[in-house]
Chains A and B, each alone.
Chain A
Amino acid sequence: MNSDENPILRIKGLNKFYSGGFQALKDINLEIEKGEIVALLGPNGAGKTTLISVICGIVNPSSGTVSVDGYDIIKDFRKTRSIIGLVPQELTTDSFETVFNTVSFSRGLFGKPPNAGHIEKVLRSLSLWDKKDDMIMTLSGGMKRRVLIAKALSHEPTVLFLDEPTAGVDVNLRKHMWEIVRELKAEGVTIILTTHYIEEAEEIADRVGVINNGEIILIEDKSKLMAKLGKKQLILDLCDPLSGLPGSMVDYELELSENGLQLVYTFTTTGDRTGITALMDDLKLAGIAFRDLNTTQSSLEEIFVNLVEESS
Chain B
Amino acid sequence: MAIYKFEMARTKRTLVQSIVAPVITTSLYFIVFGAAIGSRIDQVSGISYGAFIVPGLIMLNLLTHSISNASFGIYFPKFVGTVYEMLSAPVSTLEVVLGYVGAAASKAVILGIIILITASFFIDLQIAHPILMMVFILLTAISFSLFGFILGIWADNFEKLSIVPMLLVTPLVFLGGSFYSTDMLPEPWQTISHFNPVLYLVSGLRWSFYEISEVNVMLSLASILIFMFACLGVVYYLFKTGYKLRS
A binds B: yes
Interface pair A105/B88, CB less than 8 Å apart: no
B167 within 8 A of A: no
B81 within 8 A of A: yes
A60 within 8 A of B: yes
**Contacts A109-B3, A151-B85 known; A95 to B246 CB distance under 8 Å?**
no
**Contacts A77-B90, A96-B13, A109-B86 known; A88 to B81 CB distance under 8 Å?**
yes
Interface pair B82/A56, CB less than 8 Å apart: no
Contact residue among B6, B9, B89 (Cβ-Cβ distance under 8 Å from A110): B89
Interface pair B89/A109, CB less than 8 Å apart: yes
Interface pair B13/A109, CB less than 8 Å apart: no
User: Closest approach, in angstroms, between the C-beta of A292 and any C-beta of chain B?
Assistant: 54
User: Which residues of B in the span 76-90 have a Cβ within 8 Å of any Cβ on A?
Assistant: 80-82, 84-90
Docked Cα-Cα span, A24 to B88, in Å, equals 19
Chain A 93-111 against B: per-residue CB contact (8 Å), 1 yes, 0 no?
A: 1111000010001101111
A84 within 8 A of B: yes
Docked Cα-Cα span, A93 to B80, in Å, equals 7
User: Which residues of A in the span 82-133 have a Cβ within 8 Å of any Cβ on B?
Assistant: 82, 84, 86, 88, 90, 92-96, 101, 105-106, 108-111
Docked Cα-Cα span, A56 to B88, in Å, equals 5
User: Closest approach, in angstroms, between the C-beta of B126 and any C-beta of chain A?
Assistant: 42
User: Closest approach, in angstroms, between the C-beta of A227 and any C-beta of chain B?
Assistant: 37
B234 within 8 A of A: no
Interface pair B82/A92, CB less than 8 Å apart: yes
B168 within 8 A of A: no
Contact residue among A78, A90, A96, A105 (Cβ-Cβ distance under 8 Å from B90): A78
A79 within 8 A of B: yes
A57 within 8 A of B: yes
Interface pair B85/A109, CB less than 8 Å apart: yes
Interface pair A108/B81, CB less than 8 Å apart: no
User: Which residues of A in the span 25-59 have a Cβ within 8 Å of any Cβ on B?
Assistant: 56-59
Contacts of B6 in A (CB 8 A): 105, 108
Contacts of A105 in B (CB 8 A): 2, 5-6
Docked Cα-Cα span, A96 to B91, in Å, equals 24
User: Closest approach, in angstroms, between the C-beta of B78 and any C-beta of chain A?
Assistant: 10
B41 within 8 A of A: no
21 pairs, CB–CB < 8 Å, chain A vs chain B: A56-B87, A56-B88, A57-B87, A58-B84, A58-B87, A58-B246, A60-B247, A79-B90, A81-B88, A81-B90, A82-B90, A92-B80, A92-B81, A94-B80, A96-B13, A105-B2, A105-B6, A106-B85, A108-B2, A108-B6, A111-B91
**What are the nearest 3 A-B pairs in CB distance?**
A92-B81, A108-B2, A81-B90
